[in-house]
Structure 1
């Protein structure tokens, strides 16, 4: 070997040791060293090496594409996920408009599972849409009044209505499998968990259903007002009512095991993941509870503005605020990691927040959706979804590659017709150019 020529020291190592060395490099460096020689190229193609990279970055091969797409090898999955993340951060997407049947259609409820979109409308129907093409796949007809709540799995759709019933639908055919009767007033909320569903009603009761048989298994009573939200993760039922109380129930014994907050606390919102329960009280105080013990483990205070929404993922909690900022909290330590701020012209109250990997996504009253990096606190993108003056209502759902938004302009007396658009951040560069032809969206 001549002086000055690069030495290939890795080639003399056993594969196991060589791969261990390469595992300390980031993905960009691995791709660069693969160009050095044949031996390094072979090592850099090792699926075990890329599987380790995917594990560190929490990339699941089965989720690297939308549901229904074939699984990639680990290297391809890693590279594709990196491109998807870059598209989110830089505002690169393809936009797809759903073709609503009526110009005066108002969306009352929106759900999304990555490949399918559910929308309920003022015409008392449910539509199933393709999130890829924007086409309506089927229309579910059967409810006699407005639909307040929906959830879906790969096999079934469940909906709750002001007509006092829930309906279980076959997700593939659109056939109604069961009509669940028992509530004596409108159904406000539903949560699906495996073969069971929990519903909350204006009749102040909570019911647990077997969705395979359509039978009511348990009836939970104790709230003094309409049930606003229910969560069920297999063990306990968590409920929040307009009486400002949050209750944890043992459904098997049909007993309330804990009431987390009393009426004086004026609870305004609830979030639960099966381990922690998060409540917002007096609009400015967040409490984090251990669901199993009912013990308050953190009280998060110190921010003077009203909290309008919260989202929880693991130990990270995000709160959206009335002053158009969002706070990122570590619920283990109780520390506020960042206060997220947008551009100077961003002055509208945040209405809802969600977490996607390292991004915070928030919608505001002015018709914008804002993206931040929650790890660094950096502002990423501001997507203008409505260019008309006046307040808007934005419902949105997010997956790995897509953001589904339903935007309604608010008037003094009602909501104006809804626009529903899918932003596909998994699209390639040619498809992304199609966003330039969409008049409803603008990144800033």
Structure 2
């Protein structure tokens, strides 16, 4: 007999045990490499042969009455009647009870962030519920009812128990649904003051996106206070967050805009109309209308109607004149974007000068140019035509400056002439011992630099003039600073000097250039310099302020001892007179050594060198956002204060001798007799890219 046949047939222990069979099946499923966690094997489902059976057995009405009904009876009144049933007279007599005291923050009926039910989600739940057997639907509904009626502590206990039993797919569902339900419109829930405070932290792009969320967000994102902050943060300065800086409006446009805003804020007074005057002053030979006259009330009504109509007209005018800060920012942003990407339109002024252009200035629609042909020409920028020619100098014009009425010119004929450029009349002539290369007028003072190595200062108010001596070669450029009563000068002796106009002495001498210094330019008070090293170290940049101390941003402050050292750097008089404003903290110089330098006027140190021109620099202009240089290599370059060359412009057939800069325009004049004006205003669609990015 076969040994296998001799062995008795035995049944493994536990073969009839369903639990062990289920465990063995689970183990086999686990050993199977193809078995992955899914809805069929990770939610403790019953075997497939039991799939048709109802998962949730019908709950008897007796069990429902014993468990579910008492629970709902106990807790539902607290939900649908938040105050609950009055348990005592004290509760009934408590009128200050908050009717929403039992609601959570999310479900308060008066909560602004309470959302309406998700229609698509509710429809999906309804569809899935209807696909289940009736008993399952009843059981699930009972679970929802129990949870909905449960107090906070009971709900937390239920959730903890349910989440503990959940498998990963259910936990993923919980996580997804929780993230969606936690989203609320917080700006609708918060007061306007806090909402605006939050909105003010957004940049321009984020504000535009926020405006598309809802009507509430659109209104907050377009609030005038938000865009006023944006303008303060970006206009005439570079934002430390986004790196953008927007140009300031030109002086006249800025003044007109301020006047318009002030006019928009003024309420009209009741006008004294001619009808009112006639009603109050009777004509000769006629008696005054008494209150009993029938026409009295009619006349008074006429006066009131005229006043109201006049007020309506003035109100419409105020609405037209009022310009929101958002429009100001949009206009400045368009101009700043055009500067950044070189989008501009260009006008060329040529054919009138018979020799090279040596100096220029433009304001609004007027362009003034001086030339070696001994003439000064005034151009209409819009038409490109010469509107007046000033003749009187007998040699080349090297410098000019004009305001609303006066024009000052310096010539190689050793004279300074003061003109009324609107009439073309020469008002006064001042003399030097040599040719005049530079002039600068500020208030009642006029300074001129000459080939005779001297600087003359004229005070029109006192009719006093004096001479500053100290340079050993031609004085190429002078610049007054009336606030601090100082003067800057650049010379062919390779130096720049700072003079005290009160004592008529030299305060400091700046040395470093290795060739003739052609230009010196004190930078505005709100100029901020931040080099690459300070950016990497995340340090605070320093700006120039009239208080005399380098004013950092509000995150830091300087001690009084450091402030005293800063004042001492400019001389004894600045220490003895602490109320006297200090000279500008920063200045720019351009030289024939092909470089431009940024200086700290207090320490006398060079903060940055600007390299790029291959021949000497003749012209220099700057504001708080950019520097412009014109050089003997026939190019014009735009620089960032950090030292990066943004763009290079060509087109002149000879050396560029002078440049000009405003918020939205740049001009250059050359020895080819041409003046090229670049206008960065206008929609990008009507401009074209000019120049070469560096």
In terms of fraction of residues, the more strand-rich structure is 1
For residues 192 and 488 of structure 2, the distance between their equivalents in structure 1, rounded to whole angstroms, comes to 52
The change in CA–CA distance for 1:291 and 1:403 in structure 2 (over 3 A counts) is farther
Shift of 1:84: 0.9
**Normalised TM-score (structure 1):** 0.72
Q: Does 1:73 align with 2:324?
A: yes
> 2:666 matched to which residue of 1?
403
Shift of 1:424: 0.4
The change in CA–CA distance for 1:122 and 1:241 in structure 2 (over 3 A counts) is closer
Select which of 354, 360, 371 maps to 2:638.
371
Select which of 212, 220, 234 maps to 1:43.
220
Q: Does 1:426 align with 2:681?
A: yes
Select which of 22, 36, 59 maps to 2:199.
22
Indicate conservation of the 8 Å contact 1:59/1:81, yes or no. Answer: no
For residues 392 and 126 of structure 1, the distance between their equivalents in structure 2, rounded to whole angstroms, comes to 20
> 1:384 matched to which residue of 2?
650
Q: Which runs of 5+ in 2 are unaligned?
A: 1-115, 119-179, 238-245, 258-322, 526-564, 572-582
Indicate conservation of the 8 Å contact 1:320/1:353, yes or no. Answer: no
Shift of 1:190: 1.3
Deviation readout 1:291-327 (Å, 9 max, x if unpaired): 97348xxxxxxxxxxxxxxxx996586878967x877
Larger Rg over CA atoms: 2
Select which of 566, 569, 582 maps to 1:293.
569
The change in CA–CA distance for 1:316 and 1:23 in structure 2 (over 3 A counts) is farther
Q: Does 1:167 align with 2:417?
A: yes
Select which of 476, 491, 496 maps to 1:228.
476
Q: Does 1:273 align with 2:522?
A: yes
Shift of 1:261: 6.1
Shift of 1:95: 0.7
> 1:148 matched to which residue of 2?
398
For residues 524 and 687 of structure 2, the distance between their equivalents in structure 1, rounded to whole angstroms, comes to 39
Shift of 1:394: 4.3
The change in CA–CA distance for 1:68 and 1:354 in structure 2 (over 3 A counts) is closer
Select which of 172, 187, 190 maps to 2:439.
190
Indicate conservation of the 8 Å contact 1:220/1:251, yes or no. Answer: no
**Normalised TM-score (structure 2):** 0.48
For residues 294 and 267 of structure 1, the distance between their equivalents in structure 2, rounded to whole angstroms, comes to 25
> 1:218 matched to which residue of 2?
466
Q: Does 1:119 align with 2:396?
A: no
Shift of 1:98: 1.4
> 1:91 matched to which residue of 2?
342
Shift of 1:11: 1.9
Say which SS state the counterpart of residue 88 (structure 1) adopts.
Answer: helix
How many aligned residue pairs are there?
388
> 1:2 matched to which residue of 2?
117
Q: Which runs of 5+ in 1 are unaligned?
A: 277-288, 296-311, 342-346, 409-416, 436-440
Shift of 1:83: 1.2
Shift of 1:226: 3.5
Q: Does 1:139 align with 2:389?
A: yes
The change in CA–CA distance for 1:160 and 1:431 in structure 2 (over 3 A counts) is same
In terms of fraction of residues, the more helix-rich structure is 2
For residues 33 and 23 of structure 1, the distance between their equivalents in structure 2, rounded to whole angstroms, comes to 12
For residues 675 and 435 of structure 2, the distance between their equivalents in structure 1, rounded to whole angstroms, comes to 26
Shift of 1:396: 1.6
For residues 149 and 189 of structure 1, the distance between their equivalents in structure 2, rounded to whole angstroms, comes to 5
Indicate conservation of the 8 Å contact 2:498/2:507, yes or no. Answer: yes
Indicate conservation of the 8 Å contact 1:99/1:135, yes or no. Answer: no
The change in CA–CA distance for 1:314 and 1:11 in structure 2 (over 3 A counts) is farther
Say which SS state the counterpart of residue 93 (structure 1) adopts.
Answer: strand
